[in-house]
């Protein structure tokens, strides 16, 4: 039986910090592929589309395995899931140091690392959603700010390691970091507060308990039959399509403009720093004004900055536009797990968000290989940036159609409308 009140120090904050660390290491290491890309192309002579295809495969398997990871988290809790993912990821990066032919890239990066990546988002944000009723948006934003912190720090570290020791040794170092950090962080995760005789943060402030209980009751099967879930899937597809398309190729785009590799890699750190702010700030804003208006703000900023990248030529301008872009895309991605909790509740949140995440990873997987193909065909990223801008504008449409509820007081109406749908 859960206690009526939470202690002065709420263990949910430990959950958030452990999830932050795991997310930072997992995502930060994954996006170093953009830093390693030049070394791989030089050494093996593969095309950009062929090489990016392994990253695409990893994104697809991340999405598919994310549904399984979400179900396992709902059933067994996040700790055992994250230990397995950490082991798979660490081993995958260690083996990346030994590749010599293209099929090994697809096996180690595409399959092993892709499977391990299923622990990056779904188990962690689903667990945080179960620990927080109030402040769910900002807490999810803090966890996903871990992705931004990882993007800010780890690619820069990878760039310096590659310069000093070469790409093979750098992969060994990253593999060790992942093994230790993710498995250690997993030891602090707990499935939900009731296991520690606690209530979720803010649960005792829910005025209509029957409303709150009914809002937690959607199964995966029920959610699949609602149009709201598919609107959410389309929005997440577009969000990750835009985010990963630019994130994977931005370093090599900037080096192609004549800037140094170190300067280009520092762009990822700028994006990471801005994304930390964006994830937390937009989560806090969404808790106040609602998820719909917050998402529209992010889509609009993403469209503007994608257009801006078509004309940005000076380094100061590239720093500015990528900072705004990072703020917007990170803020946007941070909102989807709380939206899922608001629309469908918590009982099957891991599995439901796993489905949403699958469509998002398909978008994230499609983007980099499409952008690589466009560059191989045209010799320019101009069309690619235009596509990202157009996709961001299109993303506003399902956001408006979803008509997201604002605040706990709307849960009764949202639950009823989903049931009717």
pLDDT-derived band at 389, boundaries 50, 70, 90:
very high
pLDDT of residue 204: 67
pLDDT-derived band at 367, boundaries 50, 70, 90:
confident
Residue 7 inside a domain? The answer is no
Q: Which domain holds residue 323?
A: 12-195+210-420
Question: Considering its fold, how many domains does the chain have in total?
Answer: 1
pLDDT at 303 over 80: yes
Q: Tokens at residue 382, please?
A: 């101009």
Question: For 132, which DSSP code?
Answer: B
Element (DSSP H or E) covering residue 401: helix 382-402
**CATH number of the domain to which 170 belongs:** 1.20.1250.20
Residue 100 inside a domain? The answer is yes
Most confident of 7-16, 245-254, 295-304: 295-304
* Residue percentage of the chain with pLDDT more than 90: 30
Residue 200 inside a domain? The answer is no
- To 10 degrees, the CA torsion angle through 59, 60, 62, 63? 120
Residue 201 inside a domain? The answer is no
Residue 214 inside a domain? The answer is yes
Q: Which residues contact 118 (CB under 8 A, 6 or more apart)?
A: 61, 62, 65, 66, 68, 69, 85
Residue 87 inside a domain? The answer is yes
Please state the rounded mean pLDDT for residues 332-338: 85
Angle, helix 227-256 to helix 291-309, in steps of 10 degrees: 30
Residue 312 inside a domain? The answer is yes
pLDDT at 336 over 80: yes
Residue 2 inside a domain? The answer is no
pLDDT-derived band at 416, boundaries 50, 70, 90:
very low
pLDDT-derived band at 8, boundaries 50, 70, 90:
low
pLDDT of residue 216: 52
Nearest to 242 by CA among 294, 299, 281: 299
Q: How far is CA 384 from CA 152, 235, 257, 309, 371, in A?
A: 24, 19, 16, 10, 6
Q: How far is CA 406 from CA 115, 213, 266, in A?
A: 35, 18, 38
Per residue in 117-144, pLDDT (tens digit) is: 988 888 998 888 888 877 777 888 888 8
Dist. CA 106–CA 109, nearest whole Å: 6
Nearest to 415 by CA among 141, 228, 240, 266: 228
Dist. CA 26–CA 52, nearest whole Å: 19
pLDDT at 189 over 60: yes
Dist. CA 103–CA 265, nearest whole Å: 27
pLDDT of residue 150: 83
pLDDT of residue 26: 94
pLDDT at 168 over 90: yes
């Amino acid at each position: 039986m859960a206690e009526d009140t939470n202690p002065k120090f709420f263990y949910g904050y430990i959950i958030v910090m452990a999830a932050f660390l795991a997310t930072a290491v997992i995502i930060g290491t994954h996006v170093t592929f953009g830093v390693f890309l030049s070394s791989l192309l030089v050494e093996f002579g593969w095309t950009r589309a062929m090489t990016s295809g392994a990253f695409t495969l990893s994104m697809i398997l991340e999405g598919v395995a994310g549904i399984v990871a979400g179900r396992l988290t709902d059933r067994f809790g996040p700790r055992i899931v994250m230990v397995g993912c950490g082991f798979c990821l660490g081993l995958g990066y260690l083996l990346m140091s030994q590749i010599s032919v293209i099929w090994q890239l697809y096996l180690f990066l595409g399959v092993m690392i892709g499977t391990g990546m299923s622990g990056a988002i779904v188990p962690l944000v689903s667990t945080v959603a179960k620990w927080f009723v109030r402040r769910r948006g900002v807490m999810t934003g803090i966890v996903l700010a871990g992705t931004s912190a990882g993007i800010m720090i780890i690619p820069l570290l990878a760039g310096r390691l590659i310069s000093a020791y070469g790409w093979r040794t750098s992969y060994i170092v990253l593999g060790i970091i992942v093994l230790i950090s993710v498995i250690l962080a997993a030891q602090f995760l707990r499935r939900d507060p009731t296991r520690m005789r606690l209530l979720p943060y803010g649960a005792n402030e829910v005025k209509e308990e029957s409303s709150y209980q009914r809002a937690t009751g959607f199964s995966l099967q029920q959610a699949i039959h609602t149009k709201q879930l598919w609107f959410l899937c389309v929005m997440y597809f577009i969000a990750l399509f835009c985010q990963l398309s630019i994130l994977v190729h931005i370093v090599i785009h900037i080096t192609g403009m004549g800037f140094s590799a170190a300067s280009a890699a520092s762009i990822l750190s700028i994006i990471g720093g801005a994304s930390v702010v964006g994830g937390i700030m937009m989560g806090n804003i969404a808790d106040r004004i609602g998820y719909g208006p917050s998402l529209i703000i992010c889509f609009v900023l993403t469209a503007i900055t994608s257009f801006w990248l078509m004309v940005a030529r000076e380094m100061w301008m590239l720093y500015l536009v990528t900072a705004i872009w990072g703020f917007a895309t990170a803020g946007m991605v941070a909102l989807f797990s709380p939206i899922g909790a608001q629309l469908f509740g918590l009982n099957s949140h891991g599995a439901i968000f796993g489905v949403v995440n699958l469509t998002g990873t398909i978008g994230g997987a499609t983007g980099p290989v499409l952008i690589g193909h466009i560059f191989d065909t045209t010799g320019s990223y101009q069309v690619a940036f235009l596509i990202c801008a157009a996709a961001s504008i299109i993303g506003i449409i399902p956001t408006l159609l979803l008509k997201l509820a604002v605040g706990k007081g709307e849960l009764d109406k949202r639950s009823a409308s989903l049931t009717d749908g």
